[in-house]
Chain A
Amino acid sequence: MQALVKQRYGSSVSEPEPAVDARRIAAEARNRVRFEEEALEFADQVYRVARRLVGSREEAEDLVQETYARAFRSWRSYTPGTNMRAWLFRILTNLNVDRGRRVQRTPPMQPLEESDYYLANKLASSAGEEALEQEQVVERLSQDSIVHALAEIQPQFRDVVVLVDIGDFSYADAAEILDIPMGTVMSRLHRGRRALKQRLAEETLA
């Protein structure tokens, strides 16, 4: 059967090289355009996360552009059908580390409060249990204080909080992106969220 097929379609097998090349090049160009379009659909999300990983809007813009430049340059290393969002964010977080952010100023971590309910308890004891209701939360914690508190968390903890709580990544995706075990994602997330609440308590109830 194999031999028969070969015989029947023999002419296409021995097709002159340039035609095969042209088809391959056209197919590759189509794949590349599809890749670029798919990648650009995530631009909003990439920016949103980048903005919270670095200090300023300008730095975030630079980081997003670097991420896309590298992604477009190495599009061949992406395997179609796999998680492109995680692939892009892995580039982003690696670039962010390369930018030397790790050695930038990081405020010393306060010793962590024992309780996950720390902020809730503080608000409740200063303003009563009603302070825990939705409208009161929004009233008492300003948007600025949240952004500020987030920026103050140590980067290794912030990365995880930003990916999971702002970027909507699963623990598994965050582990893949940051190249750390899932257990580490969970413990950093835990610490990061506590640190955030502690900062908020300090800012709000100071």
Chain B
Amino acid sequence: MTLDPCERCEELLQEFLDRTLTDAEWREAESHLAGCDYCRRRYRFEETLRRYVKLSAVERMPPGLMSKLEELRGLDAMA
């Protein structure tokens, strides 16, 4: 059973974004995206979503944690 081109594109898209496709797969995805408005929108959505997930999930280190870690220096199993 062969996939229709948009299904095939969907299959490749996550790895396309991860930059882990083979050259041939990369070209396949790229040429489909160039000609398909539907998939191009989904591509932009997935890309935006990833960036936004990362941005939302990042939380700064609480103040004071770094100095607690500094205090741990010098621990030694052999000591």
**A residues in contact (CB < 8 Å) with B:** 32, 36, 40, 43-44, 47-48, 51-52, 57, 61, 64-65, 68-69, 72-76, 115-117, 119-120, 123-124, 129, 132-134, 137-138, 141, 143, 146-147, 150, 162, 164-166, 171, 189-190, 193, 196-197
Contact = CB atoms under 8 A, between A and B. Distances in A.
Contacts of B34: none
Nearest to A77: B77
- B55, B57, B78 — which one has the most chain A CB atoms within 10 A of its CB? B57
B52 A138 contact: yes
A137 B47 CA distance: 11
Chain A binding surface SS class: helix
Interface of B: 10-11, 13-14, 18, 20, 41-42, 44-46, 48-50, 52-62, 65-66, 68-70, 72-78
B13 A116 contact: yes
Nearest to B44: A132
A31 to B, nearest CB: 12
A196 B46 CA distance: 12
Contacts of B66: 40, 43
Contacts of B46: 116-117, 120
A52 B57 contact: yes
A197 B75 CA distance: 43
Nearest to A144: B56
Contact of B56 (A32, A43, A143): A143
A115 B78 CA distance: 54
A72 B74 contact: yes
Given A57-B62, A132-B41, A171-B20, A119 B49 contact: yes
